[in-house]
A = this chain, B = another copy of it.
């Protein structure tokens, strides 16, 4: 039975091309349970193949024909072939994180075929320290990054002794997420309804009602920050190719919190300052740092009072702030201060916006891939920001999958034309993980950013007198 595809998902499907695959990814690192045998990974793989049930979300594929009137619809895959979707991989020796990131980069570079359900999961063995990795890939038309993480979290448990747990695709809705009872800070803080509202606006935007476009332009120009329209040209703001490079690493949240405390800034400000310093050093090395500071588009959560929407749900809305990254400043402390102020100004501007304006801004955060081209078509040639930096909260407590401890989780996102680098951060179990996804060609030596991020934490600590 074909079912209709909502306009947002249709937008993501139609926006896709070979240079811009529209899937989000996740990399998880697991520690084998104690007493795991030699064949542990193989058994893990077997159990992933043998999920008793598959969620309908993971069984449908987009389909278009004369019979559907040329419209894209979801259709169940009648020849569903789980071995096509769930794969077993290995790393070449020496099996360092470097080899793992290289494999993820490659897996993230290929498009999902529309003739099958739009997801893949790759179990990866061969890390020399014995950890096991899983890379998952899901089309943005099925899930955004946040709900993907939520889905994953829902299949994990805080109980190391729990067994017979299904993989993410084996969980049928409306089963309650298991992590719901794991205590604060989980993904449940961002309710799906609010996300869907934001996505709903995007859907309209994809259809380009001119009133909405005007709202966005007004929002960008007058309300949020006039500065945002003066983002300088950088190497990130070019057309991209289809090949990706992915780099990831995490740092203890305690270190970021200490910097924040000593300087009167937030953890999120420190994350932005780390990105700013790293991007500054990276562009300096390439001789490509513009004189004017870079602008980042940062999705932020707003509480119900601020947003005046979704209050019936008692939840939050998501807005987007344009943040001046102060990449023109050499001193880490001054840069952090400037970012803190810019973020505060942006949030205040956002809170004075009308609900529709906020939703319009949110739409940018949720669907840069659709909106950026749209802005261009509206005569805004350059996007009003240079890169997207998201910071998505994750679960605070230790989680397990069938006894395997989740050590870390790293997001892979979607670079698009004009926006070749995406930085997404997510917190888990006391660490802040940075996932950097870039076009392999437009953003050369992406992995150097990890070194610069690390240098920046240390520089900020010194500046804060720690």
Contact = CB atoms under 8 A, between A and B. Distances in A.
Contact of A81 (B113, B125, B126, B441): B441
Contacts of A441: 79, 81, 115
Interface string A18-48: 1100000000000000000001011001000
A229 interface: no
Interface stretch (A82-90, A196-204, A421-429): A82-90
A125 to B, nearest CB: 5
B41 A115 contact: no
A430 interface: no
A243 interface: yes
Nearest to A83: B102
Contacts of A243: 84, 113, 116
A42 B81 contact: no
Query: Size band of the A side of the interface?
Result: 20 to 34
A81 B241 CA distance: 13
Interface string A39-74: 101100100000000000000000000000000000
Contact of A90 (B116, B126, B242): B126
A41 to B, nearest CB: 7
A354 interface: no
A333 interface: no
Contacts of A115: 19, 241-242, 441
Contact of A125 (B79, B93, B113, B114): B93
Nearest to A87: B106
Interface of A: 18-19, 39, 41-42, 45, 79, 81, 84, 87-94, 99, 106, 110-111, 113-116, 125-126, 241-243, 440-441
